[in-house]
Structure 1
């Protein structure tokens, strides 16, 4: 389904974005499909600003 939606977007000259990319394996699969962008917690979950400082 992701591949079909990606192909439809590209046919319409639209960049595609995949959500919930939470692991390197998923990101690799999205790259193979040709998805333009991905967003998710693959690098880690958000942390509070106070914990960074």
Structure 2
């Protein structure tokens, strides 16, 4: 009995895996927000509430 290669399925599986890896890399590429001034944000909310 001969071995059959499912070339189209293999190509699709590789494409799906590559797309998942690229999506994860794209999400990780975004910078994290650091040094947020919490007090200034609270003050701005207080100003909006007073107005």
Going by fraction, where is strand more abundant, 1 or 2?
Answer: 1
Max Rg structure: 2
Of structures 1 and 2, the one with the larger relative CO (CA 8 A, separation 6+) is 1
Decide: shared fold, TM above 0.5.
Answer: no
User: TM-score with structure 2 length normalisation?
Assistant: 0.24
User: TM-score with structure 1 length normalisation?
Assistant: 0.23
Going by fraction, where is helix more abundant, 1 or 2?
Answer: 2
